[in-house]
């Protein structure tokens, strides 16, 4: 049984076709520049040369037509016909408070995705276009929506409410939702499986990529997570500030003569590693400069690490303990020094990193010593596989 996983952006469509018998990827591709000059698709099939086609694509429906014809291409494709694709799973950013689980798509589900356009203005419209494009191109196939926000739906009120007038929650659903949910769900569950932990293990997942977030879960169910109403809250990210005093918005607005939208744009796109260092939003560039003791790199590194460690401490209290900490995403999976430096903050709790075990990138592994009080893992994330597993479960 093959499951197609689709992730649509406003001008892109990413896909993976996964054989669920052994969870192997049999094709992956990217359609870019949909609706603009230079539209193209690049598809990779293991054992074959990469296949690229440039062709004008006016919308996501045409992009999906090209995806399906490329997947079934007699020379460059991965399957003979659409019959070999059993179901389609879609990444959807925001499900609001309506969905506590992934769902089979029907008209009501599409209406809710639309109702959530306000909450996910950049992603939800594109995600819905992707679903409708697949429905048009592959009629009769089951489509499943896997929301980035459902993981956070198990948070209790005390974790998800902001201390602002309650009517804003009632009127506008302003609360903490959390994002990267599919990744946190995957990594927390894989940590329990891989680490042979008890089913109700308390796990803290540090998803450290360009976007970064951290979650606390029990038995793979979210207790707390660092992103909020939007992905701006929480850790220091590539270009996002993470937590700050909201009065800063007004202060910058007055001092720099900018409106709220312009200040928010600065907090989302020009802050974080980029803003603090003045070097780059890419952690590798900061690490390089750190070796030269560049003051921008030093302060950025320190603020980033301290914030992660502080959240881990808070989440240990939220969970009333912790069995395991897992590092994932671009930085978490690759940056040996950052994993070590975060765990150094936790040494007073008996957390000990084994430098030899930690000397690895991109592979699931226990990286703490045998006598560490809390197990620490490197656990690569795989959102596509999580979406495929959810799709298989619901489409069966």
| Phi and psi at residue 266, to the nearest 5° | -65, -40
Tokens of 89: 């799973």
**Helical (H) or strand (E) element with 212:** strand 212-218
> Which one-letter DSSP state was computed for residue 254?
H
Which residues ranging from 295 to 334 are in contact with ligand ADP (CB under 6 A)? 329-331, 334
Q: Which residue is nearest to ligand ADP (CB)?
A: 330
Which window, 156-164, 215-223, 280-288, 348-356, contacts ligand ADP (CB under 6 A)? 280-288
In the complex with ligand ADP, the residue whose CB is nearer, 77 or 272, is: 272
The nearest distance, CB 136 to ligand ADP, in angstroms, is 29
In the complex with ligand ADP, the residue whose CB is nearer, 5 or 174, is: 5
Which window, 92-100, 206-214, 372-380, 383-391, contacts ligand ADP (CB under 6 A)? 206-214
Q: Which of 114, 284, 299, 373 binds ligand ADP (CB under 6 A)?
A: 284
In the complex with ligand ADP, the residue whose CB is nearer, 7 or 143, is: 7
Which window, 85-93, 138-146, 278-286, 293-301, contacts ligand ADP (CB under 6 A)? 278-286
In the complex with ligand ADP, the residue whose CB is nearer, 211 or 220, is: 211
The residue among 227, 96, 110 whose CA lies nearest residue 172 is 96
Contacts of 316 (CB under 8 A, 6+ apart): 204, 322, 349
Binding of residue 341 to ligand ADP (CB under 6 A): no
* Residue pair 355/345 in contact by the 8 Å Cβ criterion: no
Note if 148 is an active site residue: yes
Binding of residue 335 to ligand ADP (CB under 6 A): yes
The nearest distance, CB 344 to ligand ADP, in angstroms, is 18
The nearest distance, CB 379 to ligand ADP, in angstroms, is 13
> Which one-letter DSSP state was computed for residue 9?
-
The nearest distance, CB 106 to ligand ADP, in angstroms, is 30
Return the half-sphere exposure (C-beta side, CA atoms, 13 A cut-off) of residue 221. 10
**Looking at the chain, how many residues does it have?**
396
Binding of residue 282 to ligand ADP (CB under 6 A): yes
Binding of residue 383 to ligand ADP (CB under 6 A): no
Alpha-carbon distance of 361 to 339, in angstroms, equals 11
3 state SS of 104: strand
The nearest distance, CB 302 to ligand ADP, in angstroms, is 16
* Per-residue binder mask for ligand ADP (CB under 6 A), 220-239, x = binder: ------------------x-
The nearest distance, CB 187 to ligand ADP, in angstroms, is 12
Q: Which of 3, 17, 267, 283 binds ligand ADP (CB under 6 A)?
A: 283
Sheet with 2-8, strands from edge to edge, namely 51-54, 40-44, 24-32, 13-19, 2-8, 87-92, 142-147, 103-104
The nearest distance, CB 125 to ligand ADP, in angstroms, is 20
The nearest distance, CB 367 to ligand ADP, in angstroms, is 15
In order, the DSSP letters of 18-86 are EETTTTEEEEEEEEE-TTSTT-EEEEE-TTS--EEEE----SHHHHHHHHHHHHT-TTT-S-SSGGG--
Catalytic residue among 50, 107, 148, 245: 148
Q: Which of 209, 220, 228, 380 binds ligand ADP (CB under 6 A)?
A: 209
Contacts of 148 (CB under 8 A, 6+ apart): 91, 92, 93, 94, 179, 180, 181, 182
How many residues of this chain bind ligand ADP (CB under 6 A)? Answer: 12
In the complex with ligand ADP, the residue whose CB is nearer, 77 or 238, is: 238
Within 10 angstroms of residue 64's Cβ, the number of other Cβ atoms is: 28
Dmax (CA) for the chain in angstroms is: 62
Binding of residue 210 to ligand ADP (CB under 6 A): yes
> Which one-letter DSSP state was computed for residue 186?
H
Q: Residues interacting with ligand ADP, by CB under 6 A?
A: 209-211, 238, 282-284, 329-331, 334-335
Catalytic residue IDs: 148
């Amino acid at each position: 049984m093959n499951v197609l996983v689709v992730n649509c952006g406003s001008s892109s469509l990413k896909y993976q076709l996964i054989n669920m018998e052994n969870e192997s990827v049999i094709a992956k591709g990217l359609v870019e520049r949909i609706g603009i000059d230079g539209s193209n698709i690049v598809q990779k099939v293991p054992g074959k040369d990469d296949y690229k086609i440039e062709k004008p694509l006016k919308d996501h429906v045409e992009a999906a037509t090209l995806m399906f014809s490329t997947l079934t291409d007699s020379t460059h494709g991965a399957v003979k016909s659409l019959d070999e694709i059993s179901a389609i799973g879609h990444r959807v950013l925001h499900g609001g408070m309506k969905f506590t689980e992934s769902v089979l798509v029907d008209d009501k589900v599409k209406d809710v995705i639309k109702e959530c356009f306000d909450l996910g203005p950049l992603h939800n419209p594109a995600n819905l276009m992707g679903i409708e494009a697949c429905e048009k191109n592959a009629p009769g196939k089951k489509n499943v929506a896997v929301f980035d926000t459902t993981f956070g739906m198990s948070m209790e009120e005390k974790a998800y409410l902001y201390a602002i007038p309650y009517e804003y929650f009632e009127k506008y659903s302003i609360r903490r939702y959390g994002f990267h949910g599919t990744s946190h769900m995957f990594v927390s569950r894989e940590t329990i499986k891989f680490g042979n932990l008890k089913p109700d293990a308390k796990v803290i997942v540090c998803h450290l990529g360009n976007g970064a977030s951290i979650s606390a879960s029990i038995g793979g169910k979210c207790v707390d997570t660092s992103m909020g109403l939007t992905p701006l809250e929480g850790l220091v990210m590539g270009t996002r500030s993470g937590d700050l005093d909201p009065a800063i918005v007004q202060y910058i607005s007055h001092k720099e003569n900018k409106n709220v939208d312009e200040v928010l744009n600065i907090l989302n796109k020009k802050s974080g590693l980029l803003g603090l260092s003045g070097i780059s939003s890419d952690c590798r560039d900061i690490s390089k400069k750190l070796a030269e003791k560049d003051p921008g790199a030093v302060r950025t590194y320190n603020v980033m690490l301290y914030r992660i460690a502080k959240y881990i401490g808070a989440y240990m209290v939220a969970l009333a303990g912790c069995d395991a900490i897992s590092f994932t995403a671009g930085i978490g999976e690759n940056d040996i020094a950052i994993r070590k430096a975060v765990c150094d903050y936790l040494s007073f709790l008996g957390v000990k990193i084994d430098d030899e075990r930690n000397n690895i990138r991109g592979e699931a592994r226990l990286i703490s010593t045998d006598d560490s009080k809390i197990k620490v893992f490197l656990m690569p994330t795989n959102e596509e596989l999580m979406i495929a597993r959810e799709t298989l479960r619901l489409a069966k």
